[in-house]
Structure 1
Amino acid sequence: MTLRALLLAIFFASRAVAQTDPATAALNAAQMLEQASVSLTEAESARDRVRALTETIQAYEAGLSAMRDGLRRAATREAQLTAELRSREKDVAQLLGVLQTIETTAPPVLMLHPSGPLGSARAGMMLSEVTPGLNAKAQSLARDLQEVRTLRLLQQSASETLVEGLTGVQNARTQLSTAIADRTDLPRRFVEDPIRTAILISSTETLDGFASGLSQISEGQIAETDADISSIKGQITLPTQGVILHRANETDAAGVKRPGIVLGTRPRAIVTSPTAATIRYRGPLLELGNLVILEPQPGLLFVFSGLQEVYGEAGQVIPRGTPVGLMPAESKEIGAILSTSGDGTGTDRSETLYIEVRQDNSPVDPESWFRTDKDG
């Protein structure tokens, strides 16, 4: 199976996981992580290692996300079943007592009745009517108890699976950094002058000022380009998976309005170029932290800030899907990863990526270019 086919299979599998029962969802996620491990081995010998490793990391991210969701659902389901069983303790005790009495009483005794043969016949008829109900209750109880045992065993083995998955994706990220550093096949439109870049950074106080002076950071002329992505305007995929926390010009918790959107992402999520583009700048800037500025066509800039690591070099022309950075992350214990306390609240998307789009050096609503499913 090729890496691209594997990634597509994992994508559709991850969507199917959400529709299955908790135990099956977690087991499917474990298989996804195993497939990602195989793709990591294949990526080591791939001709385009950057692309192969990027797809591998995305496969690991899908598997880890599905594993996390499956295990949380398993924990929730186990707690629900345990609570139900506790609330039915009296009924369960009575059921077990009746079943035990029927099972241990000798057949001849069962056939005797104080009222004689007629009473025995009536009792037998009543027992024949009650028995199916007792059997149904017993079978339901057995299923619930077996499900609890299965879910408990599943969670006990989850720690090892998660550790292996987290180790695998970390290895893939390390290899990706090396592969990007070794890449020499990308065309360049200009060579950055670090002194001019430092002067521009020190002389500007806003992103507006820095963006307007980007032409000053090259050693010579910037090669012209006729790139045009206007045909896909409004349909461009976001650079990483996430949920929109703030839209353009919405006031955030600190009372600040920004012309871009804030995307909540998972820790260490990979951020890729949504189109072919020129890297105009990458590195720290003002209070925005590490950022990447991409130019997909003349006069249009995509700004992604809030990254922990940034990839590539200014002046390089990169294809669509090229990794440009990784989101930050604080190390977490496996128990915290499995915790259900934040389930459904979005707390697993603890990092924020700020996305700003600038056209002719003026900010425009990013949702006019990116597909964000506004109605979803």
Structure 2
Amino acid sequence: MIRALALLLLLAAAPAAAQTGPAAAAEAAAERLDRAARLLAEAESGSDQVAALTETVRAYEDGLDAMRDGLRRAAIRERTLSVEFAARRGELSRLLGVLTTLSTAPTPLLLLHPSGPTGTARSGMILSEATPALQREVARLTEQLEELELLRALQTSAADTLEAGLLGAQEARAALSQAIAERRDLPRRYTEDRAAMASLLASTETLTAFAGGLAETVGEELPGPSPDATARKGTLALPAQGRVLRGYAQADAAGVARPGWLIATRAQTLVTAPVAATVRYAGPLLDYGNVVIIEPASDVLFVFAGLGEVYGATGEVVPEGAPLGVMGGASADIDAILTETAGGADAPLSETLYVEVREAQETVDPGTWFAEFGGTE
């Protein structure tokens, strides 16, 4: 009877922790990467390749971010369980000893008490009261052991998933760059006066002077659409996934304050148009690196600086979500990601995107246009 009772306790504790928080997050991330791979295959044959490939790159970025976060959380949870088991080693040994005794001792001896029937009845009552607590403890221990096994297996198998995701993201970015180079279907508001643009680039010394001289670089005006995002003011998403490091006119460690936001992003992050706008400039500028300047409304300019590569041509009207470029830097390799997540650390945001907003040639706080997703440091 007692042997059967012990077996019943173990069987009742058998439901596995197959869907733990960190493990479920990492598994969901793997599914997102699988979806991104399917999107890439579909985008290569789609009619609007730029839009499809932009969505694909975003899907890979989301999937890789989620995978990193899931692995980081899994590593933290795995360490927590390991430390807990180590701290409770003596208690667990005693519990296993009790279970072993219950399962191996002869049933008649366990049922009988030396003092006779009264003692036997009392021991039976004690056993009946102790059984639920013992059952709960065995169930919790079994669930934690299965969770620990699942987390370790997840971290072991992560390399293949990450490798496929990183390769897919690289292929998607390359395909997107090629599709943009071949794109000819965007409307244009004007043609560029290349001589005037070259003269402005050669003579300008500040971003303010450059922005003020852009009107002189317009060649022929075309009957294209004129975007007006005024109604969207204060609601726009950031042009890239990241976190605002410094706000408007906030000084850095050297005491330098710039009239814009500094956004930390991961390497190779896609930068997109937060709203439909006219491209006023795309290319290198002063000490800002590669810069994209777009006009979402009359006499309003968004300046995005610090990109590794820029897309688009001056005078084009790009739709909301259109790719404007990618951040620089090299994506972390698999070993670096696994090492970083195994230590419970989040992925570093190694690149910085500078965002400046100008209205009537005067800088304004980007917060008047952008909703500050991601928080600040």
Q: Which one is further off, 42-51 or 117-126?
A: 117-126
Contact 2:260 2:356 in 1 (8 A): yes
The answer to whether 1:128 aligns with 2:155 is: no
Q: Which one has more relative contact order, counting CA pairs under 8 Å at least 6 apart?
A: 2
Q: 1:145 to 1:56 in 2, by over 3 A?
A: same
**2:287 is paired with a residue of what secondary structure?**
helix
Offset at 1:242?
2.0
Per-residue Cα deviation, 1:210-247 (whole angstroms, up to 9, x for no partner): 112223445x3444764322222222222122221111
Q: What is aligned with 1:294?
A: 294
| Aligned-partner Cα distance in 1 for 2:60–2:102 | 54
The number of aligned residues is 355
The answer to whether the aligner puts 1:117 opposite 2:117 as a matched pair is yes
Secondary structure of residue in 1 paired with 2:192: coil
Please state whether the residue corresponding to 2:189 is helix, strand or coil. Answer: coil
Aligned counterpart, 1:230: 230
What is residue 7 of structure 2 aligned with on the other side?
Answer: none
Identify the residue that residue 80 of structure 1 maps to in structure 2: 80
What does residue 312 of structure 1 align with? 312
Residue 337 of structure 1 and its aligned partner are, at CA, apart by 2.2
Q: 1:42: how far off? A: 0.9
1:144-170 deviations in Å (ceiling 9; x for gaps): 111000111111111111111111111
Pair 60,20 (structure 1): closer, same or farther in 2 beyond 3 Å: farther
Give distance in 1, aligned partners of 2:70 and 2:371: 28
Q: Which amino acid aligns with 1:305?
A: A
Cα distance in 2, alignment partners of residues 365 and 192 from structure 1: 29
Q: Distance in 2 between matches of 1:171 and 1:374?
A: 27
Distance (whole Å) between structure 2 residues aligned to residue 165 and residue 31 of structure 1: 11
Which runs of 5 or more residues in structure 1 are unaligned? 1-18
In structure 1, the partner of 2:356 is 356
C-alpha spacing 1:137/1:160, structure 2 compared with 1 (3 Å): same
Q: Supply the distance in 1 between the matched residues of 2:173 and 2:284 (Cα, whole angstroms).
A: 21
The 3-state SS of whatever aligns with 1:37 is helix
Secondary structure of 2:292's counterpart equals: strand
C-alpha displacement at 1:76, in angstroms? 0.8
Distance across 1 between alignment mates of 2:220 and 2:140: 76
User: Cα offset for 1:289?
Assistant: 0.5
- The residue matched to 1:287 in structure 2 has which SS? coil
Contact 1:267 1:351 (C-alpha < 8 Å) held by counterparts:
yes
Write out per-residue CA displacement over residues 100-159 of structure 1, whole angstroms, 9 at most, x where no aligned residue: 111111112223433233333322322222232222212211111110001111111111
Deviates more, 1:233-242 or 1:88-97: 233-242
**Residue of structure 1 equivalent to 2:215:** 215
Contact 2:40–2:53 (CA<8 Å) still a contact in 1?
yes
In structure 2, runs of 5+ residues without a counterpart are: 1-18
Match of 1:266 in 2: 266
* Kept in 1: contact 2:309–2:326 (CA 8 A): yes
What SS is found at the alignment partner of 1:324?
strand
Q: 1:204 to 1:254 in 2, by over 3 A?
A: same
Q: Is the 8 A contact 2:20 2:147 kept in 1?
A: no
Aligned partners of 2:150 and 2:268: how far apart in 1? Answer: 31
AA in 2 matched with 1:45: S
Counterpart of 1:64 in structure 2 is 64
In the TM superposition, what whole-angstrom CA distance separates every residue of 1:14-43 from its partner, at most 9, and x where no partner exists? xxxxx9711111111111111111111111
* Counterpart amino acid of residue 270 in structure 1: L
CA deviations 1:259-295 (Å, max 9, x no partner) are 1111122221111111222211111111111110112
Contact 1:307 1:326 in 2 (8 A): yes
AA partner of residue 232 (structure 2): I
Amino acid at match of 1:23: A
SS at match of 2:163: helix
Alpha-carbon deviations, 1:54-99, whole Å to 9, x = none?
Answer: 0111111111111111111111111111111111100000001111
Q: Following the alignment from structure 1 to structure 2, what is the Cα–Cα distance between the partners of residues 342 and 350?
A: 18
Could you tell me whether the CA contact under 8 Å between 2:234 and 2:369 is conserved in 1? yes
- Residues 1:54 and 1:116: Cα distance change in structure 2 (over 3 Å): same
Q: Is the 8 A contact 1:245 1:262 kept in 2?
A: yes
1:34-113 equivalent positions in 2, closer than 5 A: 34-113=34-113
- 2:287 maps to amino acid: E
8 Å Cα contact 1:342-1:348 kept in structure 2 = no
3-state SS of paired residue (2:278): strand
Equivalents in 2 of 1:227, 1:130: separation in Å?
74
2:31 is aligned to: 31
How far apart in 2 are the matches of 1:216 and 1:342? 53
Matched-pair contact (CA < 8 Å) for 2:293–2:304: yes
Distance 1:76 1:357 in 2: 40
Distance apart, 1:202 and its partner CA: 2.5
| Aligned match of 1:241 | 241
* Offset from partner CA, 1:179-203 (integer Å, 9 cap, x none): 0000111233344355543332221
Output the CA distance in 2 between the equivalents of 1:73 and 1:342: 7
Shift of 1:351: 1.8
C-alpha distance in structure 2 between counterparts of 1:106 and 1:76, whole Å:
44
